[in-house]
Amino acid sequence: MAYIPDWHLKYGVLPLCRELGGEVFSYSSGLAWEIDDLLPPGKSVIPYGFYSYEEFYEHIDNYILKYGKDGQKPNKLGILLGKYKKDIKLRNIKENWSIVKYVGKDDEYQDLTYGKCYYWPCSIEDPNYEGVIDDEEFTSYYYLPKPGMWEILEDPLGMARRTLDMMSKIDKLT
């Protein structure tokens, strides 16, 4: 089951993950692609389909053991895998993520539900808008953070407020 801090449960985030199991991840796609290019064909570090963070970290540790060393010394792949694991741990502290409610028009974005709460992940190390997380994957490529479409419910790092303020300024310029 997805890890959700106790005080986030009241928002109903990740309802399918809570019901059916599975975890959602914030990750660097650039770093994942760089690593995937070094792995044998058919192997990947894209964190999709894992039940928990721990299961995924075990997956990465197994890759480090299998492919990340030349003798006893870490090779380039091993160094990148270690960096990736650390990055994922820092990105996926949900206590730092913003929670927003979609209050836009029902037909504006067909996959978003009016009144439903969503995570906007960010980390202390990079407190910038990364996208919207629904029950399964990032949907940032589909849903722009337009002012008036989102109500901020939790914003521990101030990322959601900064993002919506910036988008409001951009809207005024266009």
Domains held by the chain: number: 2
pLDDT 10s digits, 46-86: 998 899 999 999 999 999 999 999 888 999 999 999 999 99
Residue 120 lies in a domain: yes
Percent of the chain with pLDDT over 90: 64
pLDDT 10s digits, 116-158: 999 999 999 989 888 888 776 555 556 778 888 999 999 999 9
Residue 5 lies in a domain: no
What does pTM read for this prediction?
A: 0.88
Instruction: Clarify whether residues 98 and 165 are in a common domain.
Output: yes
Q: Which domain holds residue 81?
A: 29-91
Residue 152 lies in a domain: yes
> HEC profile for the chain?
CCCCCHHHHHHCCCHHHHHHCCCCCCCCHHHHHHHHHHCCCCCCCCCCCCCCHHHHHHHHHHHHHHHCEECCEECHHHHHHHHHHHHHHHHCCHHHCEEEEECCCCCCCCCCCCCCEEEECCCCCCCCCCCCECCCCECCCCCCCCCCCEEEEECCCCHHHHHHHHHHHHHHHC
